[in-house]
């Protein structure tokens, strides 16, 4: 049976179509989910896409965190549902307290849009098991509020528990502490990433095909997950 991966659309979402296409290219069935509908329609995993949910009012992700769909996503994630938050989706996961820390204004105060090399640090998550530890990948980054921050104790805990999923190489585009580009929760089913793997799944439009591994990883995870 083909895995069904939900992609949530919020008012102001920008990359929901790209995320759905990446899901399809990876071999799963994308299921479009609406912010105002708490029903996840039986999906096997969820992607919170990039964009500017609710216009980024108050703080990026602060309003989206209270959307009806997020009540269900939070509960399901705590029960083991794989959830990937990309860019604005990462911000929403932090606002929803599924991941620690916060994403703040880029230290240089400029929007940054470029192709970015990442080093994959953690390969035991639902979204990165297709990679090798230390593997370098090239995916686009595009953000204005992508600077990951947390208190020193939280940063040390993430490091000590192997929960830093990816780091920036060749220059930090936003000033994120310890060059952190992606993190995971303790269970490894929830991952937040600031760069955009969904924009690196086709040779025609992306700088590489490296982003596809995030989406094939969750399919591999679902195959091995208990029924």
**196 vs 25: CA distance, rounded Å:** 15
Catalytic position from the list 60, 94, 196, 199: 196
Strands (E), 69-169: 83-86, 102-104, 112-120, 136-143, 147-149, 164-169
Give me the catalytic one of 35, 60, 87, 199.
87
Rounded to whole angstroms, the Cα distance separating 218 from 70 reads: 20
- Residue 74 vs residues 71, 101, 115: alpha-carbon distances, Å: 5, 17, 31
Q: Determine the Cα–Cα distance for residues 136 and 121; give it in Å rounded to an integer.
A: 9
Query: Is the CB of residue 172 less than 8 Å from the CB of residue 158?
Result: no
- Spatial neighbors of 213 by CB under 8 A, at least 6 apart, are 128, 130, 131, 137, 197
Q: Closest Cα partner for 87 from 37, 179, 19, 31? A: 19
Say whether 196 is catalytic: yes
Q: Known catalytic residue: 161?
A: no
In sequence order, the 6+-apart residues with CB closer than 8 A to the CB of 204 are none
Q: Is 198 an active-site residue?
A: yes
Query: If we measure between CA atoms, which residue out of 210, 181, 213 comes closest to residue 86?
Result: 181
> Token match 């989910």: residue?
33
Catalytic entry in 145, 147, 198, 221: 198
CA–CA gap between residue 114 and residue 81 (Å, rounded): 31
- Which are the catalytic amino acids? 87, 196, 198
């Amino acid at each position: 049976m083909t895995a069904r991966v939900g992609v949530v659309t919020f008012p102001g979402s920008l990359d929901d179509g790209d995320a759905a296409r990446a899901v399809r290219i990876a071999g799963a069935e994308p299921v479009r989910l609406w912010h105002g509908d708490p029903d996840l329609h039986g999906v096997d995993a969820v992607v919170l896409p990039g964009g500017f949910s609710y216009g980024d009012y108050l703080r990026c992700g602060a309003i989206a965190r209270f959307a009806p769909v997020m009540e269900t996503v939070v509960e399901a994630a705590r029960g083991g549902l794989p959830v990937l938050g990309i860019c604005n989706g990462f911000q929403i996961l932090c606002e929803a307290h599924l991941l620690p820390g916060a994403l703040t204004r880029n230290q240089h105060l400029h929007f940054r849009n470029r192709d970015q090399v990442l080093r994959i640090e953690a390969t035991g998550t639902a979204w990165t098991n297709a990679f090798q530890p230390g593997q370098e990948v090239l995916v686009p980054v595009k953000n204005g509020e992508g600077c990951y921050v947390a208190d020193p104790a939280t940063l040390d805990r993430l490091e000590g528990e192997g929960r830093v999923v990816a780091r920036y190489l060749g220059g930090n585009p936003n000033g994120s502490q310890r060059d952190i580009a992606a993190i995971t929760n303790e269970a490894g089913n929830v991952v937040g990433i600031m760069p955009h793997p969904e924009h690196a799944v086709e040779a025609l439009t992306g700088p590489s095909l490296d982003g596809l591994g995030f989406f094939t990883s969750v399919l591999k995870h679902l195959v091995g997950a208990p029924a």
